[in-house]
Each structure stands twice: as structure tokens, then as C-alpha cells.
Structure 1
Amino acid sequence: MSMAAQLVIVFGSVAALLVLMALVRRLPFSAEVKRKLVHVGTGIYAMGLPWLFPDRWPVYMIVALTLVMMVALRLPRLSGRLGDAVHSVDRRSYGDFLLAISVGLCFFFSDGVALFYVLPIAVLTLADAAAALAGTAYGTRRFKVEQGVKSVEGTVVFFVITLLVALICLMCLSDQPPLNILTLALLVAGFGALVEAQSWRGFDNLFLPLGLLVFLEVHSNSTLFELLPIAVLFVMAIIASRIIGPRFGLSTHAARVYVVAMFLILASVELQNAILPALVLVAYPWASARSPGGDDFGDLDMVAGLALFSFGWLALGNAIGWNAVQFYGLTAMGLVMGLATLALRRNLVWVPVIAAALLALRQIVTWLNPPHSLWADPLLVLACLCLALSAAASAALPDMFFRHRVLKLTVLSMILPLAYYTLAVIDQGGTPPPAGGSL
């Protein structure tokens, strides 16, 4: 297929989405039903993208144009026209943006493996819509999430639809034996149902497909005896979250979200590289208890921030080809330092002790990592600068982090690692080392 023909399909696809939104807007349904109709139509089309284009760039172009269109539809002049097909629900949501981003990231990370792309997008498209509509129409047993509520009935429908989708995809797109397929499908359905039930502001459109993709990449070829302990640990983690979460000042919702976050991190990285991100989840409630912020749902924002910069480093490392795990760790370490400094703002004498402990812990993690991930080492000076920047800003300007604490500290912690990573890649040049992209 020529480049011109692919461009025609790209712009035709975006035009078709606008037509779909215009048609849905005129239907006599509720805002939630309209939004899910657009969601389903978009998702079904997205599932066929790998077979529609011979090249990869048109898919990324469609995603980019869709994001631009979604931004435009939030403008006042358009939000009351086409925009209300996706933005008229009575809650704050970034689901439209995150759906487009997830399609692009899943397409990128799946690297041409149909199972890794189709199953997550199919679950997001079909199970999510079915759960939302079932919960809205028939939900009677409700539980609170952030500023809204969800229903047990919707979660059950999500689990059932996800289980069916997973079974069909695994039977058609993998060569695993039946018992492995059943175990994998149950894990996918259980994890997916937990993510959907605990999502907020549309973040399930990001966490759900990417979490499933990462899980499938790691475990799609695992044996039954490797999958069963994962299932047991997953159930135990959910139970433990209800017991341990309140002791850290977390709501029941936030505690379950923390379980989701750690499950995603452990599925993405080696165990040693999950230590510093896990400390972020511990440091935030500590900082909130000692130095409360002004964010209504900061613990949930913390999980979102952690997930976004984790997937961000993973995407950058895969795109560039140079392993980013060391810089991922530096970002998490800087975030822990900033939160710890806020917690110790009235007793800063302990800040150097925390910094020394984080440096020692990072060194242990470095020793445990494989050689190909250490291509930019030594990074001791950069690590010290990251700690100093986070500690100095948090100690000197604590009031600056009263509102939007997670966003500000995350950006602050990303500055030096991202700048050094960029310069190091430019300086290295040539072909990346083997396995250079993964975390």
C-alpha cells in the first residue's frame, strides 16, 4: 500500500470518528450510554489497526490526530456540540485522552504480537463498556471510589466478559495447553476486574490495557506451576491491603489501588528494581500524615503519577533502544527523597540520613542489575544531585507542594534523569546493547 493511500485512510479514520460522535450525539440516550457507544466504536476499529496498515507510522499518526481532536473538543465552542458525546458525563475524566494513548502504547509495546495487542484492547472495549452499562442500569450494591460510586453487578459483568474475551483470544492467538489458558484467563479477568473496580477519572483506560499487556508479555508462556503461585499471591495481596492499608492512613479504595500499582510494577521489572518505586508508595502516606497537603485524593494521584512515569520510562527505553531502568530508579529515588523531606520538615537533621540510606539502597540495586542496564554508569554524582535537588526544593519551599504535590515532585524528580539520559544516548551513539529497551 502506498504512502498516499495510507494517508487517505488515516484522515478518513479521524473523519469517521467525528461522524460517529455526531451520530451518537443525536441519539436519545443518557450521557453515559453515548460515551460508551463512542468508546466501543473506537475500540473495535482500533483492534483492526495492525492488519489495516502495512507500516506502523499511520497508527501513531491516527493516535496523534485523535489526541489533538480530543483537546479541541474540550474547547468551549465545541464542547457543547460534538464534544458532549464523550465529555458530558457528570464527573471529571481523562478517559478519552487515555484511550487514544493506550491504543498507541499497546501497539508500540506489542511489537507485532497479535495477542499482546488484541486482548488488552478487546477487554478495554467490550468488558469496560458492558460493566459500565450494566452497573448503570442494574447496579444496586454500590461502593465508593473517589468522588463517585461503582457497583458490584458491574464488576461481576466485567469479570465474566473479560474471562470470555481472554479465553477466546488465548485459544485463537496462542498455543498454550487448556489448563494454562484457563489459569491465564482467570488471572487476566481477576486483575482486570480489580483495575476497573478501583479506577478513577478514566485511568482504567490506561492501567487496564497496559497492565494486561505487560502481564501477558511476562507470563503468556509460563507453565501452570508458575502461574498458580501468582494467582495465590494476587489474592493474598488483595486481602492484605484491607488489613495493612488503614494502618498507613489509606482508604480502602486507595489500598486496593496500591495493590494494582505494585502488581503492575512487579510485572514490568525485576524484583530489585521494584524496591524504590515501592518506597514511593510508603513515603507518600508518611508525608501526608506528617505534612498534610491540599489535594483531595493525593494517594490516588500518587499511584497515577508512579504508573505514568513508570510506563513513560519503559516507552522511552523501548523507543530509543537504550535501557532506562537506572534512570527509572533515580526518578523514584528523587520522589522518595522529596516526600521524606516534607515528612521531616520540622526535623531536617534526619534528611541526610534518609539520603545516605537511599544511596546505599540504589547501589545494592545496581549490583543486582544485569550489565546491559548499566551502560550509563557510573551515576553516583547524578544520584547525589537528584537527591539534593528534591531535598532542597522540599525543604526550602514546602508550601509550594501543598497543592498538586505529586505532579510537582514527579516533574522535579524527572528533570535531571531525563536530561542526563538524553545526553548519554547522544554521546553513546551507535547500536544499543542487547535488551537495551526494557525495564
Structure 2
Amino acid sequence: MSELLQIAIAFASVAVLLCLMAVVKRLAKTRDISPEVQRKLVHMGTGLYALTLPWLFTDNWPVYMLVGLTLIVMAILRLPAFSKGGIGETLHGVERQSYGDLLLALAVGTVFLLAEGNAILYVLPIATLTLADAAAALTGSRYGRKFFTVEEGQKSIEGSTAFFMITLMISMVCLLLLSDVSRPNVILLAVMVAAFGTLVEADSWRGFDNFFLPTGLMIFLESHMDSPWQSLVLLMGVFLVALVVFLRVAPRLGITGHAARVYTIATFLLITVTAPQNTILPLLAFVIHAFAHRLSPCKAAYPALDIVAAVALASFGWLAIGLITGMNALMYYGLMSAGLCVGLIAVSLGAFSIWVRVGATLVVGVGLFGLYGFLMRYNPASIQWPGDMKFAGAITIGMMVVIGSFRPSLFDTRRAAKLTFLAVIVPGLGYGIKVIGA
């Protein structure tokens, strides 16, 4: 297939999406379809179309171009001129705030990249997001009678049950048709995928399930699809124990049960995707954030959830960049995590004098950078390719100490996002310079 034809298909795909939204909007007027159902119809149509992408294009770059075009269009449709009365209303007519439209497009591109041509790693997560998520929402809104509380309100047991059953069936079909997994492992993996996916969907907020659900399932499958059944059973037990521990400890730290479940999911995914030494600093950021919020409360609506979203999105970003360039980014990811921890400590000491904040944060920052260096030594040489990180580390730690200590009020709102962005700047520039110079 020629490059020109693939470009034309990409633009035509965006046109098809807009036509779908226009049709749904027209049906909504004539059939009195609720905003939630409208959104899910567009969601299902987009997801089903996304399933064809590996076979629709002969090259990978048109898929990424299509994702980029879709993100631009989704951002435009968020403008009042389109979201109020226009076709964007099919996505933004619901009362709650959601980034699901943007995150769905981002998830398709991320899973397509990380799957690296392995059909089951792409098809199963996207099919689950498309079909099971829609089934859960529609079942819950129509038949929901028993509810459990999450930060944004309530979700129904009936909806989660529908999600589990649909995901179980999708998983079994995909594992049987698209993999060589043994029959006993098909059952175990399908149950684990359904259970894990149900927990992710039930505990997501602001549409983040559109990203975390497919990417989380893909990482889980990639890591454990070939594991023996004994390891899968042990993994299931470890996850359940971790969930119980988090739920028991959470109240003492002022963390809700919802946030505790999200922490468990994030911890599980971090441990799944990389070696233990590379998980310590990002997990430490979760703990420090909890104490920082108690000492200096953040004005965000869901601070405990925001830190998980920020770290998770940054984690997937570093993973994707490493795959694109072919140069592992774990050293820079670890430095970002250390910088985030330092920033959180600086902000937490806002009630103390400036010199106490600077001195205490600097001492802790030096200690955290030492911990970072110690942990990175346990990685193989292929990960330690950047070499000495002292200069980048000094700038990162110093920047976080100065900005966090001198202007802690900057982080009264959107604390997790702002600090994560600051912590990424120096590692991101350092990584870019190294890649260009390689």
C-alpha cells in the first residue's frame, strides 16, 4: 500500500469518526437517547474501528499519525462552540468531568506501540475496553440496584458483574484463537484478566479507565502469558494480600478505600513491568504524597488519585519513548521519580521557615539521589548506558528543592501534575541530548 493511500485512509478515518458522532447526535434527538448512551455509542464505534488498525495499514507510522489527528480533533471538540450544541455534545453531554475521549485515542496509540505487532496484546485489551466497558456502563445505568462508592459518586455491582463476564468471554476467545497458551492457563489468565480489568474499570475516575484499562491489561498479558499455572496462582494470591493490606493501612494515612484500591493496582503494574529496584522510588512517591497531603493539604478534589495518574502516565511515557528510540529510559525514569519525591517533601514543609524547608529538603534530596544511585547499580549494563548521572541529578534535585521550598503555594492545586512535570524537565532534556548524540 502506498504512503499516499495510507495518509488518505488516516484522514478518512477521522472523517468517519465525525460522521459517527453526527449520526449519534441525530439519533439522540429523534430517539431521546441519554448523554451516557450517546458517549458509549461513540466509544464503541471508535473502539471497533481501532481493532482494524493493524490490518488496515501496512506501516506503523500512519497509525500514529491517525492517533495524533484524532487527539487534535478531540481537543477542538472540547471547545464550547462544539461541546455545547455541536457534535462534541455526544462526548461531553455527561455532567461529570472526563478526559475519556483524549485518553481513548492515546491508549490506542500506546497499546499499538507497546504490542509491537503481537495481535493478542493489541486485540484483547482494545476489545475489552470497547465491549466490556460499554456493557458495564449500560448495564449499570439501566439495571443497577446495588452500588458501591467511588470518589466521583457510585458505581453498580450489576455493571461490574457485566464487565467481568464480558471480559472473561473476550479473554478466552482471544487466548484460544490468537495464542498458543495451554488450556489450563487459558482459564487462569482469562479469570485474572477479567478480575484485574473489573477492578481497574470500577476504580477509575474522569475517564482514566480508557487509558489504564487497555495498557494495564496489555502489560499484564505481556509479562505473564507464558508463565506456568503455579506462578499465576501465586501472583493472584500476592495481589489479593496486597489489596487487603492497602485497605487496612489506608485509613491510618487518611486515604479512602477507593484510593487504596487504585494504589494496589498501580503497585501491581509497576512490579509487573520492571525489576523491583526500579519500582521503589515511584512507590515511595505515593507514600510521601500521602504524608505531604496530611502536613500541607492539597486543594485538588482527588489528590490521592491524581498522584497515581501522574506517575502512571509518566511511566508509560518513558516506556514508550524507550521503545521508539531503542534506548532504555529507566535511568531517567528513576531520576524523575527521585525528583518528584524531593518536590513533595519540599511542599509538605510549607508551614516551616524558608531555611528549614531548604535545609531539610536538600538533606533528604541528597539521600534520595544516593538511594537512586544505589538502586540503579542493580540494573544490567544495557540500562546503565547513560553513564554518570551526577550532573543531571544535581540539577534535578536542586531545581525541585528551590522551587518547592520558595514557592510551595504554587502547588496548592494540581500538585501531582505540576510536580511531575517539573521532575520530568531535566531528565527529559538529558535523555534527548543523549539520544541525539548517540
Q: Which amino acid aligns with 2:19?
A: V
CA 1:356–1:136: 2 relative to 1, 3 Å: same
Q: How large is the Cα RMSD of the aligned pairs?
A: 1.2
Q: Which amino acid aligns with 1:243?
A: R
Q: Which residue of 1 aligns with 2:21?
A: 21
Q: Which residue of 2 aligns with 1:150?
A: 155
Matched, 1:294 2:299: yes
After superposition, what is the alpha-carbon deviation per residue over 1:153-200, rounded to whole angstroms, capped at 9, x for unaligned? 111111111111011100111111111111111111111001000000
Q: Which residue of 2 aligns with 1:211?
A: 216
**CA distance in structure 2 between the aligned counterparts of 1:15 and 1:47, rounded to whole angstroms:** 17
Segments of 5+ residues of structure 2 without an aligned counterpart are none
Question: TM (normalized to structure 1)?
Answer: 0.95
Matched, 1:227 2:232: yes
8 Å CA contact 2:362, 2:401 repeated in 1 = no
Q: Which amino acid aligns with 2:412?
A: F
Higher mean displacement: 308-317 or 5-14: 5-14
Write the mapping of 1:91-110 to structure 2, written as runs, cut at 5 A.
Answer: 91-110=96-115
Q: Which residue of 1 aligns with 2:179?
A: 174
Q: Which residue of 2 aligns with 1:165?
A: 170
Write the mapping of 1:359-438 to structure 2, written as runs, cut at 5 A.
Answer: 359-428=369-438
After superposition, what is the alpha-carbon deviation per residue over 1:62-83, rounded to whole angstroms, capped at 9, x for unaligned? 1111111111211222222111
After superposition, what is the alpha-carbon deviation per residue over 1:269-322, rounded to whole angstroms, capped at 9, x for unaligned? 111100000001001011001111211211111111011100111111111111
Write the mapping of 1:345-360 to structure 2, written as runs, cut at 5 A.
Answer: 345=350, 346=352, 347-348=356-357, 349-360=359-370
Write the mapping of 1:162-311 to structure 2, written as runs, cut at 5 A.
Answer: 162-311=167-316
**CA distance in structure 2 between the aligned counterparts of 1:352 and 1:60, rounded to whole angstroms:** 42
Matched, 1:84 2:94: no
**CA distance in structure 2 between the aligned counterparts of 1:239 and 1:264, rounded to whole angstroms:** 17
Question: TM (normalized to structure 2)?
Answer: 0.95
CA 1:11–1:359: 2 relative to 1, 3 Å: closer
**CA distance in structure 2 between the aligned counterparts of 1:382 and 1:57, rounded to whole angstroms:** 32
Cα deviation, residue 353, structure 1: 3.4
Q: Which amino acid aligns with 1:389?
A: M
Matched, 1:38 2:42: yes
Matched, 1:50 2:57: no
**CA distance in structure 2 between the aligned counterparts of 1:331 and 1:363, rounded to whole angstroms:** 13
Q: Which amino acid aligns with 2:419?
A: L
Cα deviation, residue 111, structure 1: 0.6
Higher mean displacement: 204-213 or 383-392: 383-392
After superposition, what is the alpha-carbon deviation per residue over 1:38-57, rounded to whole angstroms, capped at 9, x for unaligned? 11111111111101111112
Q: Secondary structure at the match of 1:368?
A: coil
Matched, 1:62 2:72: no
Cα deviation, residue 343, structure 1: 2.1
Higher mean displacement: 25-34 or 303-312: 25-34
Cα deviation, residue 4, structure 1: 2.6
After superposition, what is the alpha-carbon deviation per residue over 1:108-146, rounded to whole angstroms, capped at 9, x for unaligned? 111100010000000000000000000101111112222
8 Å CA contact 2:124, 2:174 repeated in 1 = yes
Q: Secondary structure at the match of 2:155?
A: strand
Kindly tell me the number of residue pairs found equivalent between the two proteins: 428
Matched, 1:9 2:9: yes
